[in-house]
Structure 1
Amino acid sequence: MLINEKPSLVEDYGYCEAIIKRYSKSFYYAFSTLPQEKANAVYAIYAFCRQADNSVDENLTSASQLVALDHLTDELNRFAQRQEKDLPLWRALRDVFNRFDMEIQPFFDQLKGQRMDIHFTSPNTREELEEYSTYVAGSVGKMLLPIIASDTDKDLTMSAVNLGIAMQITNILRDIGEDYLEKNRIYLPVHEMAAFGYSKHELSKGIISDNFIALWESLAERAEELYADFIGNSDGFDEDSKFAVIASARVYRGILDSVRKNKYDCFRKKNYVSKMEMVKIAAQASI
C-alpha cells in the first residue's frame, strides 16, 4: 500500500472478519453463508461487540475496565455524531449504517450490559438474569435485525431479543466454572440455587450433584424455549438470511447438548460444538 493510500473497505471488513473467526467459530460458520454485503455487516457488528466485551474481560481491575469502557462509549458517541475515528472498525460500521436501516441505541444498550458486569452482583432471580442478558446479548439481536429482516412488516424485535437471551444463558451454563474461577462471578440466580438446594460452596468445589443437574436443566429448558420461539418466527426473516439465522440458533443450542454429553461438567471440560457437528446441525436448517 502506498503511504498516502487510504485503506479500502475490503481491508476494513477483513479486519472485522478476522475478529469473528478468532473468537466465535460457530457464529462465523453460520453467518459466513450470508450474501457478502450482509456477512460483512455481521462481522462489523460482532467486532464492535467483541471490543465491548474485551473492555471488561481484558482488564484486571474495575477502574481499568471503566476507563476502557468509557473510551469505547466516547468513540460510539463520536460515531453517533458522524465524527468517528478513522479506524477499521468505525469505517466498516459507517458503511453498515449507510447500507442498512440501523439504529444506534442497541449499541449503547450493549455497553450498558458491559457496565453491569463491571459492577457485578449475582442475579437474585431468573428475571434479573434475563434483564442482564437483554442488555448484553438481546441488544445484538436488535443490531442484526435490519440486516437479516430488511424486507418484512412483521415486528421481530422480541424474537431477536429472545435469541440473544437464549445464547447468553447458554454461555452462562457452558462457562460456570470459568466464570467463577477466573472472574469470581456466579451468574446462576441466587433464588434458583436455593430452590434447587445447590450452594455456592458446592459450586466452588465443582460438585456436579443431582441438584446441580436439576438447576442447570431448569435454565437450559428456558433457553431452549427461547430458541424455539426464535426459530418459530423465522418466516419473517429475509429469504437470503433464513439459513444463517436458523443455523446460528441451532448450532448455539447444540452447546447445551455438548454439556449434557459431557455429563454436565461445566468446571473441568471445554464444551463446544465440533465442526462436524456444526455441519450436521446446520444442514437441518435448510430442511
Structure 2
Amino acid sequence: MDTERMQADFAYCEAIIKKHSKSFYYAFSQLPVEKANAVYAIYAFCRTADDCADSSQPHLEKLASLHRLKKELDLFREHAEVDHPLWRALRQVFTKYDMDIQPFYDQLTGQWMDMNFAIPKTLYELESYSYYVAGSVGLMLLPVLASKASVDLRPSAIHLGTAMQITNILRDIGEDFHTKQRIYLPEEEMERFRYTPEDLRHGFINENFVHLWERLAKHAESLYDLFNSSIVLYDDDSKMPLLLSIGVYRGILDAVRSNNYDCFTKRNFVTKENMIKISSAVYNCS
C-alpha cells in the first residue's frame, strides 16, 4: 500500500476517535505515531460496532447492521477484507503487531448483548457484560501497548477495560435509564442496598443510592489498582498514555462524588483544570 493512502486510512480512523472520545484521544495521541495509529484503527472498529447497537434504527435493522459487520470481520479474518479505510488500516495493524482476532468477535458479542439487553442479576454478570463490550478492547490494544511483554498480561488488560466500563455505567445511570430504558446496576446489589427501580425512575439520591454507587465504584477502583500493579510490564512508550487514561477515568468517579452523586441531572466529566492536574501528576511520576 502506498504511504499516502495508508496515512489517509489512519487519518479516517483518527477523525473517529477525535470526534467520539476526546479523553481517549488525549491520552493515546501521546503514543509514538505508529502505535497511536494502531489505537485509532482499533477504536474505529469498536465505534463502528457500537454504532450498530446504539443507532436510532429499528431493532431488526440494528441486528442486520451488526450481522453485516460480522460478515466483514469474517472476510478480514480470511484476508479478503472489504476495500474500506477501516479495514485497510486494521490490516496494517495486524501486519505490524501480533494481534488476536477473537477479541474483535467478542466485541460484536457485547454489542449483541446490548441490543438484547437484560438487567444483570449479579456483579459477576455485570463484569461478564463489561468484558465483552470493554475488556475485549483491552485485549485488542494489548499487542500494541505491551509488544515486548514476556508474561501473559491479558488479565490486566481485561481489568482495565472492565473498570472503565463500570465507570461509564456509574456516570451514565440517569441517561441509560431515561434515554435507553436500561438499568446496568445489578439486581442483587440494588436489593442489598434497598434501592429500587422506582427510586431510579424518580432520580432519588439518598443514602442507599450512595452506598450502592460506592460499592460499584470501589470495585472499579480495585480493578484500576490491579492493572496499575502490572503497568511496569507494558512498553515504556505506552505507560504514560495508559496512566493518563486511568487518571481521567478515575477522575470521572471523583467528578460524580464532587457533584453529590448526581448521575441524573448533571453531566459528570473531568474539567480542564483537573485534566491539567492529572497530566501533571502523571508526568511528574514518570
Do these two structures clear the TM 0.5 threshold for a shared fold by scoring above it? yes
Deviation at 1:147, TM superposition (A): 0.4
Counterpart secondary structure, 1:8 = helix
Residue 107, structure 1, aligned to residue 104, structure 2: yes
Residue 139, structure 1, aligned to residue 147, structure 2: no
The one-letter code of the counterpart of 2:273 is M
Residue 262, structure 1, aligned to residue 253, structure 2: no
1:198-277 aligned within 5 A: 198-277=195-274
1:1-287 aligned within 5 A: 8-286=5-283, 287=285
Between the aligned partners of 1:96 and 1:19, the Cα distance in structure 2 is 17
What's the CA shift string for 1:115-160, capped at 9, x where partnerless?
1111111000000000000111000000001000011202111010
Between the aligned partners of 1:153 and 1:214, the Cα distance in structure 2 is 40
Between the aligned partners of 1:217 and 1:80, the Cα distance in structure 2 is 42
Asked if the contact 1:55–1:69 (Cα under 8 Å) also holds between the matched residues in 2, the reply is yes
Aligned residues: 283
Between the aligned partners of 1:160 and 1:88, the Cα distance in structure 2 is 27
| TM value normalised by structure 1 | 0.96
The one-letter code of the counterpart of 1:111 is L
The one-letter code of the counterpart of 1:22 is K
Deviation at 1:246, TM superposition (A): 1.4
Deviation at 1:61, TM superposition (A): 2.6
Deviation at 1:9, TM superposition (A): 1.0
Between the aligned partners of 1:240 and 1:13, the Cα distance in structure 2 is 20
Q: 1:205 to 1:279 in 2, by over 3 A?
A: same
Asked if the contact 1:26–1:278 (Cα under 8 Å) also holds between the matched residues in 2, the reply is no
Counterpart secondary structure, 1:102 = coil
The one-letter code of the counterpart of 1:46 is Y
Between the aligned partners of 1:177 and 1:69, the Cα distance in structure 2 is 26
| TM value normalised by structure 2 | 0.97
Between the aligned partners of 1:35 and 1:7, the Cα distance in structure 2 is 19
Deviation at 1:59, TM superposition (A): 3.3
Deviation at 1:275, TM superposition (A): 2.9
Deviation at 1:7, TM superposition (A): 6.4
Deviation at 1:19, TM superposition (A): 0.7
Q: 1:6 to 1:87 in 2, by over 3 A?
A: farther
Gaps of 5+ in 1: none
Aligned-CA RMSD value: 1.2
- Provide the identity percentage: 56
Between the aligned partners of 1:271 and 1:247, the Cα distance in structure 2 is 18
Deviation at 1:33, TM superposition (A): 0.3
Between the aligned partners of 1:60 and 1:219, the Cα distance in structure 2 is 32
Between the aligned partners of 2:169 and 2:211, the Cα distance in structure 1 is 15
Deviation at 1:103, TM superposition (A): 0.8
What's the CA shift string for 1:45-69, capped at 9, x where partnerless?
0000001111010134321211111
Counterpart secondary structure, 2:268 = coil
Deviation at 1:6, TM superposition (A): 10
Deviation at 1:284, TM superposition (A): 2.0
Between the aligned partners of 2:37 and 2:273, the Cα distance in structure 1 is 25
